[in-house]
Amino acid sequence: MAGRHWREAATLILVCRAAKPKVLGPLDSDFQLLFLKRSQQSSFMPNAFVFPGGVIEPSDFSEAWLGVFEKYGYSKSEFFKKFRTSAPLPEFYRNKLENPILPEVGFRISAIRETFEESGILLASHLPNNCLTQDEIKHWRKIVHDDAAQFLTLFHEVGGYPAVWDLHEWISWLTPANSSKRRFNTAFYITFVEEMPSVVMDEKEVVDVQIASPCDILEQSHKGSLLLPIPQTYEMSRILSFRTYDDLHSFARERGKKGMDHYYPVVVKAANGIVSVLPGDDLYPVQPDYEGKNEEQRSKAATIEQLRESATNMNRVEIHSLSDRYCTVNIELKYGHVKPVNCVEFFTSSKL
């Protein structure tokens, strides 16, 4: 991926136990996730509900972080033991190998920092008194928002360290060429808390919050009451495979050791909609045009249904409209990942 035309980012899937778990229907679960609604003025995915996250900063990879962790007995070698596996390194890790901080750690710090900036949730370990007051959060949040390097200062002054050990690798998504002026190669991590901490919107980048189950979010998307981007649609459909917090937590912890796959959607225009095809699909190009030098959007005279019927291997999101989109996957996914659930029959038949 030489000559990158995108910025690197990190995002966090934050999972908590549901206060009143609903495990009755075929898609219900006893856990919920945090979603933040982007502002209408946002230059990227305006009005969409997304996971907290944003662009990485050089300070996330500062050598000074080693001093923060060493206060609690964690040396640089501990990072290698915990985070470096035999799995192939994704490209955005490989191009950060010269940094003093292991890229697996720096990207996690970025995800935690961005989550703090956008939601006021600070995922930290060994904080004195276990937490900051609301006034302290407000104070530090503004400082960090204005200067990402101050996230390091926060821990120097307050104590503790970012809870990088609690984040598990999930997947990465690259914004398609020619679909947006701003493109991001985003590392997705997943983490778990017993209860969702208080969320405070900044009223600038974030204008609404949803703490809901994957089923609830996808149902709202299907009804058109919220806008859900393709990566969130795919990942929520994937997480529908799990009914309980404990099962998802156990899966994420073990699967995260196996490697991080990379998804770059390629758009295929069908007669009655769009198919966003992903690696392993019959329609996926042998050499994807990551840089957008050639036209990636392909046109087919066939309908979405006809393209599905003629395919042997499928890993795709079928899009009839902004609210009518479903995952169709029949291949084994890399690195031990679970397939998304195609929930079209549940939503269209009003069984929920």
Do 89 and 197 lie in a common domain? yes
Do 78 and 102 lie in a common domain? yes
Place of tokens 């982007």: 38
How many independent structural domains does the chain possess?
A: 2
Do 57 and 185 lie in a common domain? yes
SS in 3 state form for 127-151? CHHHCCCHHHHHHHHHHHHHCCCHH
Among residues 222, 240, 255, the one where a domain terminates is 255
The two tokens of residue 251 are 């899966």
In three-state secondary structure terms, 352 is: coil
Amino acid letter, residue 52: P
Residues of 128-147 as b/e, b for ≥16 C-beta within 10 angstroms?
Answer: eeeebeeeebeebbeebbee
pLDDT band at 3 (very low <50, low <70, confident <90, very high): very low
The model's pTM is 0.94
Do 79 and 220 lie in a common domain? yes
In this structure, is residue 351 part of a structural domain? Answer: no
In this structure, is residue 350 part of a structural domain? Answer: no
Neighbours of 55 (CB within 10 A): 15
> Distances from the Cα of 323 to the Cαs of 206, 224, 334, 337, in angstroms?
21, 5, 28, 26
In this structure, is residue 71 part of a structural domain? Answer: yes
In this structure, is residue 273 part of a structural domain? Answer: yes
- Pairwise CA distance, residues 70 & 109, whole Å: 16
Among residues 231, 255, 279, the one where a domain terminates is 255
Question: Greater confidence, 323 or 232?
Answer: 232
Do 286 and 305 lie in a common domain? yes
Q: What are the tens digits of pLDDT across the range 30-88?
A: 999 999 998 777 767 778 899 999 999 999 999 999 999 999 999 888 888 889 988 89
In this structure, is residue 170 part of a structural domain? Answer: yes
Do strands 184-193 and 7-22 pair parallel, antiparallel, or not at all (unpaired)? parallel
Do 279 and 238 lie in a common domain? no
Do 275 and 133 lie in a common domain? no
In three-state secondary structure terms, 178 is: coil
Q: What are the tens digits of pLDDT across the range 146-202?
A: 999 999 999 999 999 999 999 999 999 999 887 667 899 999 999 999 999 989 877
Do 178 and 249 lie in a common domain? yes
178 Cβ neighbours under 8 A, 6+ residues apart: 292, 295, 296, 297
Do strands 273-277 and 124-125 pair parallel, antiparallel, or not at all (unpaired)? unpaired
Place of tokens 């964690």: 74
CATH number of the domain bearing residue 64: 3.90.79.10
In this structure, is residue 340 part of a structural domain? Answer: no
- Residue ranges making up the domain that contains 291: 262-332
Do 22 and 128 lie in a common domain? yes
- Pairwise CA distance, residues 157 & 318, whole Å: 50
Can you tell me the mean pLDDT for 236-251? 96
> Distances from the Cα of 66 to the Cαs of 102, 114, 130, 258, 346, in angstroms?
10, 20, 21, 26, 49
Among residues 218, 234, 255, the one where a domain terminates is 255
1 Cβ neighbours under 8 A, 6+ residues apart: 91, 290
Do 227 and 296 lie in a common domain? no
Do 108 and 44 lie in a common domain? yes
Do 187 and 212 lie in a common domain? yes
pLDDT attached to residue 296: 52
